[in-house]
Amino acid sequence: MAADIYTPGVVAGRLDAETIAANFADLHPPYDGHEAAVAADRCYFCHDAPCITACPTGIDIPLFIRQIATGTPEAAAKTILSSNILGGMCARVCPTETLCEEACVREAAEGKPVEIGRLQRHATDTLMAAGVHPFDRAAPTGKRIAVVGAGPAGLACAHRLAMKGHDVDLYDARPKGGGLNEYGIAAYKTVGGFAQAELDWLLKIGGISVHYGAALGRELSLEALRDSHDAVFLGIGLGGVNALRVEGQVTEGVMDAVDFIAALRQSGDKTDIPVGRQVVVIGGGMTAVDAAVQAKLLGAEQVTIAYRRGREAMSASRYEQNLAASKGVRLMFNAQPEALHGSGAVEAVEFALTQSVDGQLRLTGETRLVPADMVLRAIGQSLDGTPEGIALAGGKIAVSGAGRTSVAGVWAGGDCAAGGDDLTVTAVAEGRDAAEDIHASLLG
């Protein structure tokens, strides 16, 4: 993060390294064997389990929980990974409270679901700790596929293709793979370098050649990739950030929340990450919550999430909202940013108060001024450039079926593709399904 964007009040090292390390400890510590067995025993092992339907990757949840209950967590991990090869990361970052756990029969009956996410983590961590990769490659097909983007969608696609016997060239613009798993998720959700460890484990399937520092439209062209490969999958994510259209020419102290989170994720002890005393985060999604909570954990005195609609409209789950509140973050609803105040450096954000009338957002005529020496934008991301000749829908790559684009031989999935939720687990499902479609297409 460039130093010239900061105001005088934004400094690194507000808290000592020991305190920061404690603040950023694992949000949900892993189960030990006994805890996992007790948690697994709560499952009813439903025949028509609603939790399976609620999982975007369709993991057989009752089966893997039964395998844990019978003392075979490695078998449980294989059940999970057969559907979701990034099951370890998804166990940590999935909003299970609004997916499988919300659908759990125990949740409906008692208000306390089986802790599916933590059980999934127990199984996958056990297998990875053993250094085991439970899948083998099929016989070579002689086909080579280019996968652009080493995020969740690209990794899921590359692994499934390699497992089918294809050779894969995996490209990514950054110096590390993992995409949002590496750069875009709160540090307290995935500690100990897990994203890199999971990537290294995934590549043990073989047949995947990784090329970093290669971006579409810069080092790579879609035409050249199509000429040199039998198929192309685009999992390029959303590299652009939506503009904050407000009055005022203030720039110092204003930055994108995704850059703030990425810097945190790549820092060793986090004492080198500057943070303000009074931080305002604009947005209502998971990125806004991740940025706000981490600003508080770094020592910010006052952190406010400001969202232009009401609480029920926030894309961040109620669990995430409550997590933010429990860390001391103030949630400010029905507040639309109107202007940044300050002389060069931001000193306050002016908000116009809103209300919903017949589903339409309207201004009330009232305003509110919130002091700020640091403003983080978390108002959504956009596709960074249009891939050559690819049709778009709603600002994203238009797809049909299992990720087929408007260009023959090119598939897409994950956040860059239209449709679906912007979730790690959804991206994995789309990458996996596109790989199956590519395989069927190539081999007829």
pLDDT at 6: 61
pLDDT digits (tens, 9 = 90+) for 209-229: 999 999 999 999 999 999 999
Reading the block at residue 185, the tokens are 């998720």
pLDDT (average), residues 101-107: 96
Q: How far is CA 147 from the centre of its chain?
A: 19
* Share above pLDDT 70 across residues of the chain, in percent, rounded to a whole number: 98
Cα(416)–Cα(392) distance, rounded to whole angstroms? 10
Determine the 3-state secondary structure of 386 from DSSP: coil
Domains annotated for the chain, with CATH where assigned, are 3-20+241-377 (3.50.50.60), 41-129 (1.10.1060.10), 144-238+384-443 (3.50.50.60)
pLDDT at position 444, please?
80
| pLDDT value, residue 251 | 78
Spatial separation of the C-alpha atoms in residues 100 and 123, rounded to whole Å: 17
pLDDT score for 122: 98
The pLDDT score that the predictor gives to residue 304 is: 98
Contact 198, 128 (CB under 8 A): yes
| Residue 282 confidence (pLDDT) | 98
Amino acid at 285: G
pLDDT of residue 3: 47
Question: Rounded to two decimals, what is the model's pTM?
Answer: 0.94
Q: How does pLDDT run across 69-78, given as a tens digit for each residue?
A: 999 999 999 9
CA distance 382 to 312: 24
User: Quick one: pLDDT at residue 121?
Assistant: 98
Q: What angle do CA 420, 265, 332 make, to 5 degrees?
A: 65
Check residue 5 and give its pLDDT: 57
- Quick one: tokens of 81? 């990974």
pLDDT tens digits along 274-307: 999 999 999 999 999 999 999 999 999 999 999 9
Q: Where are the alpha helices (DSSP H) in 130-278?
A: 152-163, 180-183, 194-202, 222-228, 257-266
Mean of the pLDDT values across residues 354-368? 94
> Highest mean pLDDT: which of 159-168, 240-249, 385-394?
159-168
Question: What type of residue sits at position 230?
Answer: D
Q: What pLDDT sits at residue 245? A: 84
Tell me how far the alpha carbon of residue 124 is from its chain's centroid.
Answer: 19
List residues bridging with 99 in a β-sheet: none
| pLDDT score of 374 more than 80 | yes
Give CA torsion, residues 171, 177, 179, 184, to 10 deg: -150
- The answer on pLDDT for 2 being more than 60 is no
pLDDT of residue 20: 96
Q: Look over the chain and give the mean of its residue pLDDT values, rounded to a whole number.
A: 95
Output helix, strand, coil percentages for the chain, rounded to the nearest 5. Answer: 40, 20, 40
Residue 219: CB atoms within 10 A of its CB come to 12
The two tokens of residue 347 are: 């000193």
Q: What is the pLDDT of residues 395-405, one digit of tens each?
A: 999 999 999 99
CA–CA gap between residue 307 and residue 286 (Å, rounded): 12
Model confidence pLDDT, tens digit, residues 111-124: 999 999 999 999 99
What CA–CA distance (Å, rounded) separates 233 from 350? 43
How far apart (Å, rounded) are the C-alpha atoms in residues 377 and 246? 12
pLDDT > 90: percent of the chain:
90
SS3 of residue 315 by DSSP: coil
Local confidence band at 420 (pLDDT 50, 70, 90 cut-offs): confident
What span, in angstroms and rounded, lies between the C-alpha atoms of 383 and 241?
Answer: 8
Reported as a pLDDT band with limits 50, 70 and 90, residue 323 is very high
In a 3-state reduction of DSSP, which class is residue 378? coil
